[in-house]
Amino acid sequence: MAQGDLEIVLLDILKELHSKYKSLQEGVVANYIPELAKVNPDLFSICIVTVDGQVYEIGDYEQLFTIQSISKVFAYGLALEDHGQVEVLKRVGVEPTGEAFNAIILDEQSKRPYNPMVNAGAIATTSLIKGSGATERLNRMLDMFQRYIGRDVFVDISVFTSERSTGHRNRAMAHLMLNFGMIDRNIEEALDLYFQQCAVIVNCHDLAVMAATLANRGINPISKKQAVDKRYIKDILSVMYTCGMYNFAGEWAYKIGIPAKSGVCGGIIAVVPHKMGIGVFSPPLDARGNSVRGVKVCEELSQQLGLHLFECSDQGWKYGEEIC
């Protein structure tokens, strides 16, 4: 199949899925953060970026929103670069919890948060980011996002303020981890950086570029800049695969079969190693905090393109080879 024919196939699939699920009314927009409750539930976009920089997108892909929990993936990568795998593992585990993303639980034996994709683990991860003070750590975080996205990024101050003023559950997690020595930095400073990373402003196109960067050994396929040391890609993708979709992670791995991360903004990123990154944005969430339309779109993309990591059907191998 020629490149032009492949473009037509992918665009047709995206158009079909967007049309199929645009009228779906299931799910509820996140409202535990007041600013998030103001989002239009009808917004919906899908974007694919391949590792050679081809872009296929439809819907409201330029609509801005805050990245929320999807940021945990990239903060984890920065913590790994700052400290290495061994040191990070001392503070944050890599086991799925089977619990909600905001559960106040730690591993009973190690006293670590279970993984960096749930809130407790993400707060511990963010507290590891190096810097001489709050401003330097924030600037390093923003620079990291800029490498993944390919443009300057900013924090939505209203969302940050909203999260900061209502984040009592996250404060409880931080105090619990301080008690067991998993956080040794000023709690409010660590929480502020965590709330700021969640309030970074992106769009669906950005999500797909970020996912494609992970698929491309840490190299942004548009800017060609190295966003993260390639030695940590396997660590990042492994945790995404087992823990990225919260207490839906097992069913996601079984049905869809690619590393992914969701956020209460309604975004999902999915990574097909060496092939592509997928971004979906649709604010209404299911009971687990995952985008309803997003999950359905990713499931169909996986089936139609044969993207499951363990796919071995004729269709899977055919599309898998040609998308590269």
Residue 274 CB partners (closer than 8 Å, separation 6+): 51, 215, 216, 324
Assigned token pair, 234: 């396997």
Is 69 among the catalytic positions?
yes
Is 239 among the catalytic positions?
no
69 is in an annotated binding site: yes
Is 72 among the catalytic positions?
yes
246 is in an annotated binding site: yes
Write down the catalytic residue from 92, 264, 271, 295: 264
Is 264 among the catalytic positions?
yes
- Please tell me what DSSP assigns to residue 277: E
Is 246 among the catalytic positions?
yes
Which of 287, 214, 253 is closest to 96 using CA atoms?
253
Helix (H, G, I), strand (E, B) or coil at 67: coil
Residue 34 CB partners (closer than 8 Å, separation 6+): 162, 166
Classify the C-alpha dihedral 1-57-247-157 as positive or negative. positive
Asked whether 206 and 61 are in contact (CB, 8 A), the reply is no
Write down the catalytic residue from 114, 246, 261, 262: 246
264 is in an annotated binding site: yes
Phi-psi sector, 175: left (phi>0), alpha (psi -120 to 50), beta? alpha
Write down the catalytic residue from 49, 51, 61, 69: 69
Asked whether 256 and 302 are in contact (CB, 8 A), the reply is yes
239 is in an annotated binding site: no
Burial class (CB in 10 A: 0-12, 13-18, 19+), 34: middle
Burial class (CB in 10 A: 0-12, 13-18, 19+), 2: exposed
Write down the catalytic residue from 29, 39, 56, 72: 72
163 is in an annotated binding site: yes
Write down the catalytic residue from 194, 232, 241, 319: 194
Residues marked active site are found at 69, 72, 194, 246, 264
Which residues carry a binding-site annotation?
Answer: 69, 119, 163, 170, 194, 246, 264
Which residues carry a binding-site annotation for substrate?
Answer: 69, 119, 163, 170, 194, 246, 264
